Chains A and B, each alone.
Chain A
Amino acid sequence: MARYAMVIDMQLCTGCGGCIIGCMNENNLPEGMRWSGKIAETLGRYPLTRYHYRPTLCNHCENAPCVHGCPTKSLYKAEGGITAHDINKCIGCRYCMFNCPYEGVIYYNLRQPHAEWRNNTAVIPNSTSTPAETLRRTGARGWPIQNPDPDITYASIRPRGVVEKCTFCQHRVINGELPYCVEVCPSKARIFGDLDDPQSEVSRLLGMFPAERLREELGTRPRVYYIREFCPKPQPQPQAG
């Protein structure tokens, strides 16, 4: 059995946010959710200012607190170690959101996703389109660019009243494709593969560079590894002047 993991090469990352948008695109995320997110910080005082950007996503922990705490077992470890979610079992109790030690991983659908596309008013009556008319024309569900693929393992549009989260693009992975955030990254900063395969790129990189995982001290054993630095060299100290 595979042990899927992601390595994020921070030096290759340019902080462009392509992964965030790609994820929203692939998984039809409702407004306000970022399964793929970021932690951005501006450090130091002018002019010795430094910017640090870290892409984030569900860590697909080997020892996942969200799975352990789920009363209905709707969160579960799927094949390859993916922390998956079954919306049919989810009762929306949100224990997982409390139990997950990381920020911005699990989201709750308080409102109907993509409800703004049901609006049928035009900014210029009879001349411009409306959200509902546009959606109807495209024949899509939820929003016009609906990608049907997540239906394979999850739901392309999750209903109101349940949580939702990153699946490592399980629907793609089982079809031999990379998670979409990996494919869409213009800087090739994300590498996905099988830790049990010593020939895989993730194994090779983890052998080559010291890696960091978020909040390792908690014993969650994340499967998302960070190598190298976003800004590789320190700003030199200019003399006063």
Chain B
Amino acid sequence: MKQLEIDGMDGKDGTTVSRRSFVKGAAAACAGLATGGPALSALTPGTAHARGALAEGKWVSSCCVGCTSWCSKQVYVINGRAVKIRGNPHSKTNGISSCPRAHLALQQVYDPDRVKTPMKRTNPKKGRNEDPGFVPISWDEALDMLADKIMELRANDETHKFMLMRGRYTALRDLLYDRLPKIIGSPNNISHSSICAEAEKMRYFQEGQWAYMQYDIPNTRYVLIWGADPVVANRGVSSYLNSWGRALDNARIVSVEPRLTGTAGKCDEWLPVKPGYDGALASAMAHVVLVEGMWYKPFVGDFFDGQNRFIPGQKVDEDIFLEKHTHGLAKWWNLYLKDVTPEWAEPLCGISAEQIRRVAMGFAAAAPNCISWVGGGPAMQPRGTYGCLAANALNGLVGGCDNVGGVLAYNSRSYQGFPSPNDFMDEMAQTNSKKEKIDQRGRLEWPNLARGRSGAGVNANNVADAIINEDPNEIKVAMGYFNNFNFSCPGTGRWDQAMSKVDFFAHLTTHASEMSFYADIVLPVNHCMFEAWGTLDNSSNGYRSVSLMQPAIERLWDTKSMETEIPWLLAEKLAQRGFDNLLRYYQAVVDPETGKAPTNEKEFELYAIKHLTQHFWDPTQSKGGDKFLGWEQFVEVGVWNSDPYLHRARWSNMGTKTGKFEFYSETLKEALEKHAERHNTTVDHVLEVCNYLARGEMAFIPHYEEPYEWGDPGVYPFKFVDYKGRLNREGRSSNCSWYLQLKDLDLGDIAYDDVAKLNPIDGERLGIKTGDKIRLTTPTGSIVCTASLWEGTQPGTVAKCFGQGHWAYGRHAAKVFGKEALGANNNDIIPVDYDRLSGSTAFYGHIRLKVEKV
């Protein structure tokens, strides 16, 4: 770089240094730097006016936890203060790209309403209209209270009445989420996962991946997106924002979505499917691909003589179709596909047969470099498992599964696990931690088939009912961290009731949220992007990146790290009371470099993160990917990148029962049979109890299930479409002033408002204009918000973004803090229902409502 000679730019050692050369130097220090590093200008500085240099600061590496993208980031720090955010140029996934919501992290860490000290409630009554009367207390007092409560459970052999709830987290989670309840003696560690997108993971039953996927956008020829909005809110947003515009040159992109999303507005074709009918559309597309003979033969195989016998309405001889890397195609055809023509699907899904046929053929013509991107839309519905399987099956038909330009698994990465807790679990812990979990997973009506195992998946939203009904038992002491279930779970009133019932609740949070209002003590935590050690990872572009969070700025308040410091201090308190198992366990997490055991909470946090990430930074422990000289270099660079993806390595090695991509899922069959066996019944009875329509062999193949709806169409004529916006850091950005100022970045939305969007045809019919106050009523609740008439809304539907309607969280988020909400929370009206095979909470497809002018 040509050096500038500008006053005030002399570096400390007398050499001229600009921030730009600093960045380049830092980049050069890392071998294998991603392309797309700082694309700084080639301006001719010779012409510049020299008036002063930019403030000297440092880009400190971190990771964003604004959504599940978990992008590698860097924070620009000037004098201990965070000023800017960018993508970490060393990352091979998102690189320097940063989605817009990442910047709002600055407004979170410097939020004017952060909890700055531990506090306790002084009003013993708990309820929606009770002011907790919080007063500040010391950490000592707060943790004494919590420790006393836990010791009381231990004294009474009631440790299973302890519960720990987790919202977001870092990969240090096991220290708190897993080990603490186990060592105390509770089975109840409840993650939020089932209100996220667990039903998407039901692809496990076709391709053995209980996981989210990466999508090879730079190399694809066709993208068919189901109920996902990757340029707005999904996984990998920063990365896909970077590759999207170029993909439009190389590929055709089609969005299947009831409303015009950011992605639907930035693609080649929008298929406005009726909410809940994705399965019919996907099934008809599969039918077309087979009838036209366009399946990808190197992956799927062919009839023995190459002659296509898939004729609508006619069965084929299953023995003469010779499959390669798939299982059960002909059986799927015979059982179901032969009859599901585009003409059959048209009246169901609202997409014309001609369009179904054209899109299906276009998609298959791009085989195998094509993607059927299954988001939460078709999956997070009652009966959503089958919508997910129907849409994901298309990846099998066209060979896009695990292929270039297709749908890839995450590259592997190796965190070093923490020591086993077994030796630290006494008899009470061993016994009580094996009792039934509070979320009732595994019961007949809750198969929750994570990784094919009955009762293995979480059922977060059912916990409220379980607490209320004390079934399987009451909950006396609870902890919750980085979560706000009273806001983020459908059926919010149930959570208000449930949390009022819990005798003692400790909430670990940055903000006084709705859930905090039911807490007996509130423990203020560090913002994990800026103030604590941690790590998370993501995958795109055929790589996986593991990013390190670190204390980048000076902590503003008396806060502590949620997954390390607080549990350590609690363990010390328990040890003082004669129960030292947890502290002894934490002391077993030693510094990998010196072998030294931690003596305080800060050492514990540091040793824990070094232990967890040792395979990345310790060259002698490397399991592949980027190599570092040691811990310090890893901290400086802040991200480890995997080796590149090995395409097609999973072909015939899928992790399913047959090892193949299972159109007829032997894996699901086995899982359902085992669940039925456990309850001494039949698979058909399980399906009936769980509210699915499939019976017999239909249970094991992708198919359309009529959406289960709440509400009589006569009374509730509309269907509700919930979504997430560009600046949603899930439900946590509403107190950031940029969130409200820029709400109009979401299509059809209005700045400083919380609107429900109706098609102008419906607006005219109901006499509703943009700006009118309207009431949305479902069979389970009612909210008031502002109407916006917008052509991107499907007639007969109402679309509204999630995120506002906070009555707590801060001065900008709430209209009157603690009392009155600003805007309206969708979860107040979404009826509580589930896709029970996955345990997922339903957010789509089932919600009928009526709209009235207020």
Q: Which residues of A contact B (CB under 8 A)?
A: 1-2, 4, 9, 11-18, 20-22, 24-26, 31-32, 38, 40, 42-47, 49-51, 53, 78-80, 116-117, 119, 122-124, 126-131, 134, 137-140, 144-149, 151-153, 171-178, 182-184, 186-189, 192-194, 197, 200-201, 230-233, 235-236, 238-241
Contact = CB atoms under 8 A, between A and B. Distances in A.
Contacts of A79: 47-49
B471 interface: no
Interface in B717-765: 726-727, 737-738, 741-742, 744-745, 747-748, 759, 761
Interface of B: 1-2, 4, 6, 9, 18-20, 38-45, 47-55, 78-79, 81-84, 86-87, 97-100, 103-104, 106-107, 110-117, 119, 134-136, 231-232, 238, 241-242, 244-246, 248-249, 260, 262, 264-270, 272, 346, 351-355, 358, 512, 522, 556-557, 726-727, 737-738, 741-742, 744-745, 747-748, 759, 761, 790-795, 810-811, 817-818
B212 to A, nearest CB: 20
Nearest to B557: A129
Contacts of B106: 25, 145
B113 A18 contact: no
State the main secondary structure of chain A at its contact with B: loop
12 contacts: A21-B738, A22-B103, A43-B791, A49-B270, A128-B115, A140-B81, A149-B55, A173-B48, A174-B51, A197-B42, A200-B42, A231-B267
A16 B231 contact: yes
A1 B47 contact: yes
Contacts of B51: 152-153, 171, 174
A138 B266 contact: no
B81 A176 contact: no
Contacts of B87: 186
B42 A16 contact: no
B54 A240 contact: no
A40 B746 CA distance: 10
A43, A119, A123: most-surrounded residue (chain B CB, <10 A): A123
A152 B54 contact: yes
Contacts of A116: 737
Contacts of B79: 139
A2 B738 CA distance: 35
A47 to B, nearest CB: 5
A42 B110 contact: no
B543 to A, nearest CB: 17
Chain B at the A interface: SS class: loop
Q: Can you list the 5 inter-chain pairs with the closest CB atoms, starting with the nearest?
A: A51-B265, A12-B245, A241-B352, A144-B110, A186-B97
Nearest to B742: A17
Contacts of A50: 265
B353 to A, nearest CB: 7
A46 B794 contact: yes
Given A17-B745, A134-B556, A139-B81, A176 B245 contact: no
A192 B41 CA distance: 7
B556 A46 contact: no
B134 A176 contact: no
Nearest to A53: B265
A128 B794 CA distance: 43
Contact of A230 (B84, B113, B266): B266
Given A124-B115, A124-B134, A146-B83, 5 more contacts: A129-B111, A152-B52, A174-B51, A187-B244, A193-B41
Contacts of A24: 738
Given A175-B18, A177-B20, A239-B354, A127 B48 contact: no
Contacts of B83: 25, 145-147
A231 B460 CA distance: 40
Given A15-B745, A175-B53, A177-B54, A238 B355 contact: yes
B54 A172 contact: yes
B39 A11 contact: no
Contacts of A188: 39, 97, 242, 245
A50 to B, nearest CB: 7
A177 B4 CA distance: 11
A86 to B, nearest CB: 12
B259 to A, nearest CB: 10
Contacts of A42: 260, 747-748, 790-792
B848 to A, nearest CB: 20
Nearest to B268: A233
A238 B354 contact: yes
A124 B265 contact: no
Contacts of B512: 123-124, 127-128
A174 B49 contact: yes
Contacts of B556: 129, 134, 137-138
B116 A46 contact: no
Contacts of B104: 21
